[in-house]
Structure 1
Amino acid sequence: MPELFTWEFASDPYPAYAWLREHAPVHRTTLPSGVEAWLVTRYADARQALADQRLSKNPEHHDEPSHAKGKTGIPGERKAELMTHLLNIDPPDHTRLRRLVSKAFTPRRVAEFAPRVQELTDDLIDRFAAKGEADLIHDFAFPLPIYAICDLLGVPREDQDDFRDWAGMMIRHGGGPRGGVARAVKKIRAYLVDLIHRKRNDLGDDLISGLIRASDHGEHLTENEAAAMCFVLLLAGFETTINLIGNGTYSLLRNPDQFARLTDSLARGDEGFLDTALEELLRYDGPVELATWRFATQPLQIGGQDIAKGDPVLVVLAAANRDPARFDDPDALDLGRGTNPHLGYGHGIHYCLGAPLARLEARTALATLLTRLPDLHLAADPADLRWRGGLIMRGLRNLPVTFTSEHSKHS
């Protein structure tokens, strides 16, 4: 059996996932934190598990040993102040909170946000376009969704660089609730609570103002719920998009024939191909490697494997999206892939609420980047690139590129 959760595994987990799909599709393993959990790797099993109401999102259902209470590394510490959010609750609270925030991600609202995303994209590219080189994570993929989600939440422009710094601390020190992460979370929570108070006297058209209005009109949204909701939207709203842009660009650079297909289609103005290409990038090496934690509320079976009440279950989206039982030639990047029911943003009632915004940001970012810098090249040996640690997200720490600066001008 291949070794899991090493640095080598993080660089390319797909051969290990292929082995698991074939030999141990629902596999019990010990995670780096010491938690024992089930990994679900086949597409059909993953889709079933993501929609199974017997699998709760609430960490209270984790049947951890008494000697390990609070020490297992399960997200959602019982007394944490930012944990009452969509990723850690079940209906009916999940239904209530999702209904409140979903108004910010309607097709109309996302379409209205498109000009701002384009403005941010062009501004970021302008900053490095004349240099002929860039780190596309630090200079582009990281700041774009930070500024975008801050605008959506209603964080004033003069405060957004602080958010960028705090988010950077969480990215650099990801993988646990201590140290830099704890300091960043504390700063973000204090800021959000203060901002919610300030906005009560100055409501706008942003998401935080919308949550305040809903709370004032009988939705009974507590201060902790409001702050936690904003926190998870900030966290999920930037990290997934960083990884989608970074992983997507890296996949294109590693597959020059597909890079050429996309740049040629952009030159022709083929918007439909861009949409199809984005879905394939989500499938091939998406931003979320494992779906967030689930816990069995009763004994059940997944893929013929008995799961005990209280057991943690992790659905491996990256493995499911490369399952040859569902996708033809799954290890090949094919931007023209027609039928593509990938699980990149999950499935069921916990399907990613911000997926329309993430798609808009990634679509705008990739189209603009490849149109302005069509001779983009990777400026490092792939073996020297480093992937961030942690279970849930999959993303590069850096992505150095070179290009010819005169291609960078835009109107």
Structure 2
Amino acid sequence: MDNLAGREFHADPHPFYAQWRREGPVREVQLASGAVVWLITRYDDARQALTDPRFSKQGRNKGHPSDTIERALSRHMLAVDPPDHTRLRRLVSAAFTARRIEALRPRIAEITSSLLDFMAEQSGPFDLIDAFAFPLPIQVICELLGIPAEDRDSFRRWSNIIVGGVAYQADFPGAAQAMVAYIRGLLAARRSDPGDDLLSGLIEVRDSEDRLDEDELISMVFLLLIAGHETTVNLIGNGAALLLTERDRWERLRADPGLLPTAIEEFLRYESPVETATFRITSEPVTIGGQNLPAYAPVVIGLLSANRDEARFPDPDELRLDRPQNPHLAFGHGIHYCLGAPLARLEAQIAFGALIERFPGLRLAGPASELTWRPGLLLRGLFTLPVTTGPE
């Protein structure tokens, strides 16, 4: 049985996915935890699974976990099926509006400019992840929610543990408990002193007599904090690495900034910041990709693999900054399509546009072959991205 915990797989999973798409597109694989799941690797099958209600987020358990911490972290819309999902999505969408996102544009540009000023002061190589790709989205999401920016390092530590998989298993309970306690405190503060931030909006939003309860609020803030910065960190980091490892890409984007929107979509497809969708469970026997899955089978949908599917994308292993048709699945598909996709795209457009304009000579500070990817199957991102702005 194929094992997804191997070092070679994490270093470059694309050859593995390509082979599996050819030889067994829906197959049983073993995770780092030892659990065995069904992995879906082809685009059409992935798209089907993302919309088919038989691939459930809850499986047998349609109730709520009894553990206090687990319950507080699993009541968000990404973890439930309709009708709970429909209700939660409606309430959150009422507060997380396109107008609120677009209003962030000047502030995102201001934060970006400040970070670039700091980078300009560096006399030697520095890590673009630490200096730019991480602080931009975490500061944006903290300000959007009304969370003090000085707490962002704590969030990064908790987030790394929570999404880090088996490597951080021993630290998970403490990180989860700390994050839940912190969010409870924030909610209490906003109830007594509401502001113009998203957190206050989530507390106050209602549809007739319906509103989010305490666990739902904690869970939604948790989801927005994790998803609202982790994916954008990877989008900026992965995209910058793709541009800098093939210098002609950087120069082409510099010469034609109008390519930026399509380039960002290609970054999302080619090196998707989310490698797999969150777990599903079959609610009944399902046939997909020619494979019969039993009821209550755990399923992982390979977004990274689907986005390199030869049957859907011409020359999928070629990064094309001007790829005209790009219906990638980086933000998912169907009812669970990422609510924060417009914010991620906005941050990426501002970030890459300003970075290329401010530092046209930016380059890698070491061999591309030494770049290493973070372990885990959920997210796809680099540990570090050493760069320099100094003379060659």
TM-score range, shorter chain: over 0.9
Q: Cα offset for 1:140?
A: 1.0
Q: Give the secondary-structure state (helix, strand or coil) at the position aligned to 2:304.
A: helix
Please report the RMSD computed on the Cα atoms of aligned residues, expressed in angstroms: 2.0
One-letter code of the match for 1:400? P
**Residues 48-81 of structure 1, C-alpha deviation per residue, up to 9 Å, x if partnerless?**
111111111126459xxxxxxxxxxxxx976213
Counterpart Cα distance in 1 of 2:201 and 2:301: 33
Match of 2:131 in 1: 139
The range that moved more, 314-323 or 195-204, is 195-204
Counterpart Cα distance in 1 of 2:3 and 2:221: 37
One-letter code of the match for 1:343? L
The correspondence for 1:255, drawn from 246, 258, 261, is 246
Q: Cα offset for 1:172?
A: 5.8
Counterpart Cα distance in 1 of 2:144 and 2:84: 23
Q: Cα offset for 1:295?
A: 0.6
The correspondence for 1:194, drawn from 163, 170, 185, is 185
Counterpart Cα distance in 2 of 1:295 and 1:214: 31
**CA contact under 8 A between 1:55 and 1:296: conserved in structure 2?**
yes
The correspondence for 2:120, drawn from 118, 124, 129, is 129
Unmatched runs of 5 consecutive residues or more in structure 1:
63-75, 406-411
Structure 1 residues 208, 348: CA separation in 2 closer, same or farther (over 3 Å shift)? same
Normalising by structure 1, we get a TM-score of 0.89
Match of 1:350 in 2: 336
Match of 2:367 in 1: 381
Counterpart Cα distance in 2 of 1:179 and 1:163: 22
Q: Give the secondary-structure state (helix, strand or coil) at the position aligned to 1:219.
A: coil
Counterpart Cα distance in 2 of 1:313 and 1:366: 35
Counterpart Cα distance in 2 of 1:216 and 1:315: 33
Counterpart Cα distance in 2 of 1:127 and 1:179: 36
One-letter code of the match for 2:88? L
The correspondence for 1:295, drawn from 277, 281, 295, is 281
Match of 2:150 in 1: 161
**CA contact under 8 A between 2:275 and 2:303: conserved in structure 1?**
yes
Q: Cα offset for 1:382?
A: 2.6
**CA contact under 8 A between 1:4 and 1:16: conserved in structure 2?**
no
**Residues 136-156 of structure 1, C-alpha deviation per residue, up to 9 Å, x if partnerless?**
11111111111111111111x
Q: Cα offset for 1:98?
A: 1.1
One-letter code of the match for 1:364? I
**Residues 93-147 of structure 1, C-alpha deviation per residue, up to 9 Å, x if partnerless?**
1111111222344332211111111111111121121214320111111111111
Q: Give the secondary-structure state (helix, strand or coil) at the position aligned to 1:91.
A: coil
Q: Give the secondary-structure state (helix, strand or coil) at the position aligned to 1:314.
A: strand
Match of 1:107 in 2: 98
**Residues 131-189 of structure 1, C-alpha deviation per residue, up to 9 Å, x if partnerless?**
1432011111111111111111111xxx3222322323432672147444333322221
Q: Give the secondary-structure state (helix, strand or coil) at the position aligned to 1:295.
A: strand
Match of 1:318 in 2: 304
**CA contact under 8 A between 2:371 and 2:382: conserved in structure 1?**
yes
Counterpart Cα distance in 2 of 1:258 and 1:42: 28
* Structure 1 position 367 matched with structure 2 position 353: yes
The 5-angstrom pairing of residues 197-236 of structure 1 reads 197-214=188-205, 218-236=209-227
Normalising by structure 2, we get a TM-score of 0.93
Match of 1:337 in 2: 323
The share of aligned pairs that are identical, in percent, is 49
Provide the aligned length of Structure 1 versus Structure 2.
384
